Amino acid sequence: MRNSRHKKTLLKIMLEQGRVTAGQKNLGISNANQYLGDLKREGVIKDIQANGERFKWWYIVDFDKAKKRTGA
């Protein structure tokens, strides 16, 4: 399991905003999909793609793990 500050940043933003996309400008993370995919494989987040949209929304499903990872 690769633990990085980028994953921690993504989780903090998701805890504040509810959901994110990899292309959001406020993330400040190059290749955010890489870290979002890791978090999905670890069971912390999931994604959804609405009909007709070209991007996925990522959101937290395991709040206990997310809070533990961010230190909240």
Output the DSSP codes for 35-70.
Answer: HHHHHHHTTSEEEE--TT-SS-EEEES-HHHHHHHH
| Confidence at residue 2, expressed as pLDDT on a 0 to 100 scale | 58
Answer CATH for 5-70 from 1.10.3720.10, 1.10.3210.10, 1.10.10.10, 1.10.1060.10? 1.10.10.10
Other beta carbons within 10 angstroms of residue 10's beta carbon come to 28
Per-residue pLDDT of 29-70, as tens digits, reads 888 899 999 999 999 999 999 888 888 999 999 999 999 989
Answer positive or negative: Cα dihedral of 64, 66, 69, 72.
negative
Its pTM stands at 0.85
Quick check: 51 and 61 in contact, CB under 8 A? no
